Amino acid sequence: MSGRMPRGGTSAVNPTERQSTVEITQSFIDGESVPSADTYDNIDPATGRSLGPVARSGTEEVDRAVQAAAAAQPAWNATLPEHRSAVLSRVADLVDANAEALARLESEDTGKPLGQARTDATVCARYFRFYAHAIDTYYGETIPLAADQLVYTRREPFGVVGSIIAWNYPMQLLARAVAAAVATGNATIIKPADETPRTAVAIARLAIEAGMPPGIFNVVTGIGAEAGAALTAHPGVAHLGFVGSTQIGSTIAHAAADRVVPTVLELGGKSAQIVFPDADLDTAATFLTKAILQNAGQTCSAGSRLLVHHSIHQELLSKVADHFGKVSIGPGREDPDLGPLVSAKQQGRVRGMVETALEGPGEVIVGGTVPDEERLAGGAYFSPTLIDGVDPASQIAQEEVFGPVLVSMQFDTEEEAVALANGTDYALLGAIWTKDLSRAHRMAAAVQAGQVYVNTYGAGGGVELPFGGFKKSGYGREKGREALDAYTQTKTVIVKL
């Protein structure tokens, strides 16, 4: 494919000019490509074929990245905020200029439709631009303790920070971690997901082109149990961020606690959409469909549980099923409504959870199977699936499917709806569909979630909105101004006058 971003190499020329001579995705450390002794194949989920080898980094490469970051960070922190702002703005401009090439890489790696990948590139640039502006107005405070004392606070960076990001939104997750961290004077090391390493390396190259000093933004490719574990355990990393499963997040939190290192964890979700009889059902059905089928349902904040009042149950499910039945399925490059899941392994997991659900009271309204079209053979596809009447305590109602699967349950009262919504270990997002303003506010207060939408749904929302969960959905916040707090420490200075 012509014009796409690089997989590796050490040249400093325009990324789109390197593709013909570069065949391997390598780590990018201290401003240059770093090979590893071993590689693994990056698999195209639409075809099952390899997109090319990826460097399988480990302890040595992580240590090299930490040393580079530690050496570069003091000088970067000493620069004026307006300088860091200008660099981040140039990164945003370059991401915009290379958006199509980046989107094609992301579509290939993840399987997501090309249009959704283009949106990811746009939002990626938006993160860099947002934090470029935000750092200009990020101040400390003065505290009126006494007339003869001056007390003020300073927000200081941690130094070297590490982030392990998931495969579902590689560009967005990278940008929201990197932009806030480097804006506040940190140096960062990114471990992209095993399945989706290429855009991370490409954007790190663009950062160098934008004037970011070598060592401030490093990418270490590889397997999570190797490169990710090495980054988590490295004594030179002063702060950790992780996006992924609750199980792995718990492991990282334990490792960080052993070193007394702060973490921000964005983990799983089982977000509920609660629909009352006075809701606009046509609008709700449209958003319900988008909220579960975006990125093939592989979104931590996907609206995966539909809680619907019994009086409108059949009507709403009919509308959702109609939307599901019109969905086009195909490779991401064709820009369908629904692309493949990220891997055959994930496809098997989704299929297994659906089959287990059907052993209980749940009834498949639409979908429930792998598409049988010959042209989709070999890809990790799964049909849009709506299952009604599931047991609220069942696996499929309690655990993340991470696929295009929506489960439905009925309620009669607000109290019952709240109990169902809060009846899982997760608490990332929620949505209330009603025209009753008082009910909307009551429910928004009662539902346990890091974000609650009313008569809309954003699957994570905009760059400006603090994002994170309660309970086993994690802790800490990314996005918005709160991310600047997450990547800094407060120092209080007391001066006797």
* Residue in 176, 171, 216, 229 with CA at minimum distance from that of residue 196: 171
Distance from the Cα of residue 461 to its chain's centroid: 12
Beta-carbon contacts of residue 15 (< 8 Å; ≥ 6 apart): 5, 6, 98, 101, 202, 205, 206
Instruction: List the Cα angle 305/308/311 in 5-degree steps.
Output: 165
- The answer to whether 412 and 455 have CB atoms below 8 angstroms apart is no
From the candidates 61, 108, 195, 266, give the one annotated as an active-site residue. Answer: 266
**Hunting for tokens 């929201």 — which residue is that?**
176
- Give the span between the Cα atoms of 444 and 431, in whole angstroms: 8
Q: Which two tokens stand for residue 450?
A: 């890091």
Beta-carbon contacts of residue 348 (< 8 Å; ≥ 6 apart): none
- The answer to whether 31 and 204 have CB atoms below 8 angstroms apart is no
CA atoms within 13 A on the CB side of 136: 11
Catalytic: 363? no
Indicate the pairing of strand 239-243 with strand 160-164.
parallel
- What count of other Cβ atoms lies within 10 Å of the Cβ of residue 211? 12
- Give the span between the Cα atoms of 271 and 268, in whole angstroms: 9
Known catalytic residues are 266
